Amino acid sequence: IGLLITDLRMRPSNGLELIRQVRESTRAALPIIIMSGDAEAPDVIDAMHLSVVDFLLKPIDSVKLAKLVKRELGMAS
């Protein structure tokens, strides 16, 4: 796995909890992009403290997402 893209709001857990688990694992350096349609400032701050690559708001800009994915996977042209 070269990149994780997750949503902030999931069930039964949430995106921030998933990111915390990744950061505490052997894959701690994995690049992560998080997205949400209803993020609040504390959520964004928490995500940035967890060293996410970017926090995207819905609706997602597909061009921006594609550029981020290519960059993080070393495919940028």
pLDDT tens, position by position, 18-64: 999 999 999 999 999 999 999 899 999 999 999 999 999 999 999 99
Q: Which amino acid is at 2?
A: G
Within a domain: 24: yes
How many residues are recorded in the chain? 77
pLDDT score at 77 = 62
CA–CA dist 63, 17 (Å, integer): 27
Of 37, 33, 38, nearest to 22 by C-alpha is 33
Provide the 10 A C-beta neighbour count for residue 19: 22
Are 35 and 53 contacting, i.e. CB atoms less than 8 angstroms apart?
A: no
Q: pTM here? A: 0.91
Count: domains in the chain: 1
- Residue 30: inside a domain: yes
77: in domain:
no
Q: Which domain holds residue 11?
A: 4-72
